[in-house]
Amino acid sequence: MNAITIDHLRKTYGAFVALDDLTLSIPQGSVFGLLGPNGAGKTTTFKCMLGLVRPDGGTTRFSDQTFSPAVLDRIAYVPERSVLYEGMSVAEHIEMQRRAYSKFDADRARELVKGFGIPDLRRKTGKLSKGMRTAVAVALAFSRSAEVLVLDEPTSGLDPVNQRTVLNLIVNEAASGNTVVFSSHQVGHVERAAERIAIMKDGRLALEGMVDDLKADRKIVEGIMPDDSATVAALNGNPHVRRVERNGRILRAFVSGDAAAIAEAMSAGGAAGVRVVDLDLEDIFFDAVAPASSTADLVEA
Amino acid sequence: MPIVLSVDARSGVPIYLQLIEQIKRSVALGVLRPAERLPTVKQLALDLTINPNTVARCYRDLERDGVIETSPGRGSFVRGDGAEASVKAAAGDVAQSALESAIREAMSLGLSRAETTSLIHGILDRWYPEKS
């Protein structure tokens, strides 16, 4: 069953298309990572999902319900920018949330805040660093006993120890059967904690899948050709070859599945030193968001 | 648990495959013994800070391969029967694919069959010396 079903979401700001026909399903009990360059539409996606921004078209369903204030009680949201009241202390925020949400666990909130290294709950949140404000917002969200957590950049500004704490909180929620959707510019965090990802580019879905499946599927097959102009005819029109890059005598085929067969075809086609290169999620990310020639252009420019 | 599992999340090798490989290796080497209990899915996910469904997928594959068995409420255990045999069979697969890529490399570097064969014999003699 899907915890969240996003169906054909579209949002424009004037002439700018922030979301262009976005359709996504997020299974219950999963950790879903949303990746994309700045301006790709990640935050707009979250805001449309949660009814904070009205989409031009499309719907979001939580389990089998459309969005409503009642649904909101089951969802905890940490926005990209802190929404804490700067003049209020950490303890006052905890008390406010306790009154607002029936399932809020104030003891857990105090424990989590202290775990993040904020010993004095009387501190006004305006006096905390940006990272510590993020930590407070995360601690409040993880004390809501929510079924769905939506976290926009939850590790932003945190030190490595607290980043790891947030990732473990996410892992713990998933192990308890709850659903977590989070965005991050730290691809390595998504690679660890998420089992499924979507990569957005220009308001559209560029790539979606299970992290492990994408890694198993996507490879680069690299070989050295006898001269700068020699090609391997077998690569043309092969459905597993997504594109071929050439750098002097080095030929690199970006393939989906069947890497061994393509390596054989390259060897048979005259390539020397043929090897299959594994891709990490960052490689897959760059491949998904950058057009084929752009990296080389940037380097030359 | 005496084995120390670790994952390299930045590796291109899927995390669940890294875990399967390490657990199979531990069984093959006798570090994990028959009937020994594995950590729960949640515990291992938290220890390694990885997705719990990834751990669950690893355990499912190990169960399918006859290496571990899971009983509801009790946990996952190394199988007393056949775990080592199935691990040995899997080790053959791993070794074959490593040999294949080495031989493909030799071929693509322009070595003849005879030259490659003589290399392999040299390496075999070093690692599996004949008892005289």
Say which residue, A235 or A35, is predicted with more confidence. Answer: A35
Is residue B6 helix, strand or coil?
coil
Residue of chain B whose alpha carbon sits nearest to that of A169: B46
H or E element, residue A256: strand A250-256
Last residue of a domain, one of A202, A232, A258: A202
Q: Do A212 and B14 touch (CB under 8 A)?
A: yes
% residues pLDDT > 90 (chain B): 45
Q: Which residue range is the domain that position B51 belongs to?
A: 1-132
Average pLDDT over residues A122-140: 94
| Residue of A173, A155, A181 lying closest to A50 (CA atoms) | A181
B-chain residues near A223 (CB < 8 A)? 108
Residues A193, A34: contact at Cβ < 8 Å? no
Indicate whether A184 and A279 sit together in one domain. Answer: no
Is A223 in contact with A251 (CB distance < 8 Å)?
A: yes
Query: How many domains does chain B fold into?
Result: 1
Residue numbers of chain B with a pLDDT score lower than 70? 1-3, 132
The 10 Å CB-count burial string (b at 16+, else e) for A288-297 is bbeeeeeeee
Does A63 reside within a domain? yes
- Alpha helix ranges (H) inside chain A: 42-49, 69-72, 90-100, 106-115, 130-141, 160-175, 187-193, 211-217, 259-268, 281-289, 294-300
Say what the pLDDT of residue B1 is: 52
Q: Do A195 and B108 touch (CB under 8 A)?
A: no
Q: What is the pLDDT of residue A258?
A: 87
Task: Give yes or no for A225 touching B (CB within 8 A).
Answer: no
Among A168, A267, A272, select the one facing B49 at the smallest CB separation.
Answer: A168
Please, what is the angle between helix B15-28 and helix B83-108, to 10°? 120
Residues ≥6 apart with Cβ < 8 Å to A267: A223, A274, B104, B107, B108
Average pLDDT, chain A: 91
Q: Is B2 helix (H, G, I), strand (E, B) or coil?
A: coil
Domain count of chain A? 2
d(CA A182, CA A167): 10
Give the pLDDT band of residue A297 (cuts 50, 70, 90): very low
CATH code, A227:
3.30.70
- Are A184 and A265 contained in the same domain? no
CATH number at residue B84: 1.10.10.10
Q: Are A174 and A180 in contact (CB under 8 A)?
A: yes
Longest pairwise C-alpha distance within chain A? 73
Q: Which two tokens stand for residue B33?
A: 């013994």
Q: Which domain holds residue A189?
A: 2-202
Distance from CA of A280 to the nearest CA of B (A): 4
B9 vs A185: which has the higher pLDDT: A185
Mean pLDDT of A135-154: 96
Q: Does A26 contact B at CB distance below 8 Å?
A: no
pLDDT category at A301 given cuts 50, 70, 90 is very low
Supply the pTM of this predicted model.
Answer: 0.86
Share of chain A above pLDDT 90, in %: 77
pLDDT at residue A253, as a whole number = 93
Mean pLDDT of A110-117: 96
Enter the ipTM: 0.84
A222/A197 same-domain check? no
Same domain, A195 and A250: no
Tens digits of residue pLDDT in A265-282: 998 888 888 888 999 999
- For residue A209, tell me if it sits in a domain: no
Q: Is the CB of A262 inside 8 Å of chain B's CB atoms?
A: no
Q: Which of A202, A229, A246 is the last residue of a domain?
A: A202
Mean pLDDT score, A28-37: 96
Is the same domain home to A150 and A285?
Answer: no
Chain B residues whose beta carbon lies within 8 Å of the beta carbon of residue A211: 14-15, 51
How many Å lie between the alpha carbon of B82 and the closest alpha carbon of chain A?
Answer: 28
pLDDT tops 80 at residue A169? yes
Are A198 and A250 within one domain?
Answer: no
Q: Reply yes or no on whether the pLDDT at A20 is more than 90.
A: yes
Q: Which residue did the predictor score with more confidence, A242 or A10?
A: A10
* Phi and psi, residue A67, nearest 5°: -65, 135
Inspect the interface and report whether the beta carbons of A174 and B16 lie closer than 8 Å: no
Cα pseudo-dihedral A194, A199, A205, A209, rounded to 10: -40
